[in-house]
Amino acid sequence: MSEPMLGVLMLALLCIAIMIGFPTAFTLMALGVFFGYLGFGDLVFPLLVQRAFAVMTNDVLIAVPLFVFMGYIIERAGTLDRLFRSIQIALGPIRGSILLATLATCTVFATATGIVGASVTLIGLLALPAMIRAKYDIRLSTGTIAAGGTLGILIPPSVLLILYGAVAGVSVPRLYAGAFGPGLMLSSLYLLYILFRVNTDPNAAPPLPKEERTFPVGVIVKNLVTSFLPLTFLIGAVLGSILMGVATPTEAAALGAIGGLILAYAYGKLTFQNLKESVFLTARTTAMVGWLFVGSSLFAAVFARLGGSALIEQWVLSLGLTPFQFFWLAQIMIFLLGWPLEWTEITIIFLPLFLPLLKTYDIDPLFFGIMTALNQQTSFLSPPVAMSAFYLKGVAPRHVTINQIFRGMYPFLAIQVVAMAVLYYWPDLALWLPQAIYGSSTR
């Protein structure tokens, strides 16, 4: 068997192993070593060591555990609870105030942590019981929570964008600057849909009792000052230092981790148990990402050495696709991969297959990365897998069915498809801010 065909067989076996459920990182390493040995003998062993060392010395990846720790410690500091309560009190007189408070909380919390499971689970525990008591429409309520909880995939400091920057060689600060516009656009589209629903269908969100929607101004201000302002100040300091070039993403992530500890201490939540849990979860998440990087790096090196990358590139070019067709074909494939795979696996393993072709089709890698992040957020809301729905179902009351959650997510899924189309035809939404701050280069 020729070397390029070995590469194709290697890729096919990877897909089969992932579908069966083998651990992805170790499957990548096993296939890389086995096919590398078949293709070029003992050289594969020094290559494994070299790839592992390259991952360990990648400065960009240091930001991952720091941002993850920042998210976990802020989560355990009870900030989400405080934030939701204060926004709900402030928006009390408005129809659908709990829905609006949920979306606002998810948007702000997305800038503190990109952990979708934690966001959906926590806001589900906080907001869904209140919506059910207020007799809000179940489908609209669950759809808002499931969609809002996924915003951390796109809105900085997104860990996905850090990984994409490391894989594609694109500046993480540029990616962060580019993600703000699309992220806020998506959140605004969600807001407009919710306002439309609650104002055209009175039964979707009945008014709250007077005692639950009317509070003294002093109470509103006090709650916002003690919950909203500290978190937004921390987020502003972290992201502002990155965008303004004062600190690298790694340095800003360290600042965020320290700020999260200070916030937890101020709220009386900096206990040994909370600290231990945050460190453990951070180590687990980081180890998963690190081993995925080592495995995918070896797999990609062997795959390229066998000629598999060149074979796929030649096959794609032989289709005679236009840049428009290639771009959307890639996005459809990424969307479908989001059903069986986590976003980490898609970003680290499969995106490198598309990246060499971006230059051929004159596609900006920064723009492609932002669209891919938006796309992978869409996959969280797409049945039959739709992990956001299952996260929410795990904490929802028994009478809330998975089909109700799915039906509630469909309008938000449609909104995300619209957002992808808007972003494609209005790329300056993602490209203007990076160009304004850093110039025209995408690297």
- Confirm if 308 and 7 have CB atoms less than 8 A apart: yes
Q: For the ranges 261-265, 377-381, 398-402, 413-417, which has the lowest average pLDDT?
A: 377-381
- Confirm if 186 and 154 have CB atoms less than 8 A apart: yes
In a domain, 41, yes or no: no
Instruction: Give the Cα separation of 88 and 110 in Å (integer).
Output: 18
Supply the DSSP symbol for 214.
-
Specify the DSSP element, H or E, that contains 409: helix 402-425
Query: Which domain range does residue 120 map to?
Result: 59-293+307-438
- Confirm if 83 and 130 have CB atoms less than 8 A apart: no
Instruction: Give the Cα separation of 186 and 373 in Å (integer).
Output: 12
pLDDT at 155: 87
Q: Record the pTM.
A: 0.85
Q: For the ranges 213-227, 358-372, 421-435, which has the lowest average pLDDT?
A: 213-227
Provide CB contacts within 8 A for 381, sequence distance 6+.
Answer: 146, 147, 150, 388, 389, 409, 412, 413, 416
What is the rounded average pLDDT of the residues 341-360? 84
- Confirm if 198 and 204 have CB atoms less than 8 A apart: yes
Total structural domains within the chain = 1
Question: What tens digit of pLDDT does each residue of 282-321 get?
Answer: 898 888 888 888 888 888 888 888 887 778 788 888 888 8
pLDDT at 113: 65
Is residue 351 over pLDDT 60? yes
- Confirm if 127 and 84 have CB atoms less than 8 A apart: yes
Is residue 442 over pLDDT 60? no
Is residue 195 over pLDDT 60? yes
- Confirm if 155 and 180 have CB atoms less than 8 A apart: yes
Q: Where are the alpha helices (DSSP H) in 134-228?
A: 138-148, 159-168, 172-200, 210-213, 217-223
Question: What tens digit of pLDDT does each residue of 1-48 get?
Answer: 677 788 878 888 888 887 777 778 888 889 889 988 888 888 888 888
Per-residue confidence at 114, pLDDT binned at 50, 70, 90?
low
In a domain, 416, yes or no: yes
Other residues' Cβ atoms within 10 Å of the Cβ of residue 14 = 24
Q: For the ranges 53-62, 251-260, 398-407, 415-424, which has the lowest average pLDDT?
A: 53-62
Instruction: Give the Cα separation of 269 and 110 in Å (integer).
Output: 21
In a domain, 190, yes or no: yes
Average pLDDT score over the chain = 86
In a domain, 194, yes or no: yes
Other residues' Cβ atoms within 10 Å of the Cβ of residue 353 = 18
- Confirm if 224 and 86 have CB atoms less than 8 A apart: yes
Is residue 406 over pLDDT 70? yes
Q: Percentage of the chain with pLDDT > 70?
A: 96
In a domain, 329, yes or no: yes
pLDDT at 245: 84
pLDDT at 189: 94
In a domain, 268, yes or no: yes
Instruction: Give the Cα separation of 151 and 374 in Å (integer).
Output: 9
In a domain, 443, yes or no: no
Q: Mind giving me the DSSP string for 268-319?
A: T---HHHHHHHHHHHHHHHHHHHHHHHHHHHHHHHHHHTTHHHHHHHHHHHT
Hunting for tokens 């609870």 — which residue is that? 81
- Confirm if 176 and 182 have CB atoms less than 8 A apart: no
Question: What tens digit of pLDDT does each residue of 52-100 get?
Answer: 888 888 877 888 888 889 888 888 888 878 888 888 888 878 888 889 9
Residues in the chain: 443
Q: For the ranges 262-266, 358-362, 382-386, 429-433, which has the lowest average pLDDT?
A: 382-386
Specify the DSSP element, H or E, that contains 262: helix 249-266
Tokens of 351: 């995106």
In a domain, 352, yes or no: yes
Tokens of 266: 């101020």
pLDDT at 115: 66
Is residue 328 over pLDDT 90? yes
